[in-house]
């Protein structure tokens, strides 16, 4: 299953810059909504930090399968998202039983940044994107 948020899904669709920009806008809106529910993460409580290359995380995200699923015993309530085991295997964060909001947000922020960088690259080289200004 291919994620519609992935740049791979928009290749050859004609207006890839506009499509990527639309994905970024929707992504930012979703993240801002979720941030209202998330706990604050500051450099005062973080123990160790290492930079993560956004393009690498975006490539991993493109390989992450997205499912419609429900918990055992609650078949009438469905959810959409990756399986925690696959998320853990790809990103090596959290544990295999759950996806922590802080990890999902951090990866989403990195992917948005990678998409922004891709848009800037396409703007600098319009012949690559197959569009004319």
Query: What is the sign of the dihedral through the CA atoms of 126, 127, 132 and 133?
Result: positive
Per-domain boundaries in the chain: 7-40+51-129
Digit-coded pLDDT (tens) for 74-132: 999 999 999 999 999 999 998 899 999 889 999 999 999 999 999 999 888 877 655 55
Helical packing angle, 101-124 and 54-62, nearest 10°:
100
The reported pLDDT for the residue numbered 56 is 96
């Amino acid at each position: 299953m291919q994620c519609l948020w992935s740049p791979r899904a928009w290749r050859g669709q004609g207006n890839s810059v506009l499509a990527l920009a639309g994905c970024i806008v929707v992504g930012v809106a979703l993240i801002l909504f979720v941030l209202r529910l998330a706990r604050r993460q500051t450099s005062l409580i973080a123990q160790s930090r290492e930079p993560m290359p956004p393009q690498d995380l975006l490539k991993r995200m493109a390989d992450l399968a997205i499912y419609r699923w429900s918990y055992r015993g609650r078949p009438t309530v469905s959810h959409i998202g990756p399986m925690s085991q696959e998320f853990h295997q790809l990103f090596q964060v959290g544990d295999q039983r759950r996806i922590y909001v802080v990890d999902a947000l951090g990866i989403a922020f990195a992917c948005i940044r990678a998409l922004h960088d891709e848009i800037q690259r396409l703007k600098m080289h319009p012949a690559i994107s197959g569009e004319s200004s």
